[in-house]
Amino acid sequence: MSARTSTAHSSNRLGVALLIAALVCWIGFHLLPIDDYMRGWELWKRIWEITTRGYRPGWQNLIAISAFLAIAILVTASPFVTLPLRTSKPCRWLAIVASGAALLGLGSLIVMDFPGGPASALLLAAMALNFVGLICLRSPRLESGPDAP
């Protein structure tokens, strides 16, 4: 095994570990309080009320809801679909761009407007770990050179 192959394998292991850590942070977000009156899982009830009652949210709420839903899909699915993410560059880069956009959009709103509870910190950690974990995933490369078969 060459140095390039072992580096790719360790990078993939690190990426999978970060994606699993993001999932653990995501689960923790749902259990901890956002503020004195609401836990993380209750945010789903609020999103449901906003979207079903004909309420026209402002641009900040639209960014937050769409980024939150994107992160929900990415964080929960990423640890289980690492093979397609590693082997398909378009799939991987689509996930990286979506994760980065959600991190920038929702992350900036959390830092500016959210209460500073422990659930907010775990949500930020889940988004950042997911983004970095997706970047760490690498596709297997064919070896070239004198040692290649």
Concatenated DSSP letters of 72-87: HHHHHHGGG-HHHHHH
What φ, ψ does residue 33 adopt, rounded to 5°? -75, 140
The pLDDT value recorded for residue 112 is: 81
pLDDT (tens place) for every residue of the chain, 149 residues total = 455 555 557 778 899 999 999 999 999 999 988 877 888 888 898 888 888 877 777 777 787 888 889 999 999 999 999 888 888 889 999 999 999 998 998 888 888 876 677 888 899 999 999 999 999 988 666 555 555 55
The pLDDT value recorded for residue 55 is: 73
The pLDDT value recorded for residue 96 is: 94
What are the Cα distances from residue 75, in Å, to 3, 37, 40, 83, 127? 31, 25, 15, 15, 8
The pLDDT value recorded for residue 12 is: 85
The pLDDT value recorded for residue 16 is: 93
The pLDDT value recorded for residue 37 is: 81
The pLDDT value recorded for residue 36 is: 76
The pLDDT value recorded for residue 120 is: 86
| Lookup: tokens for 33 | 């309080």
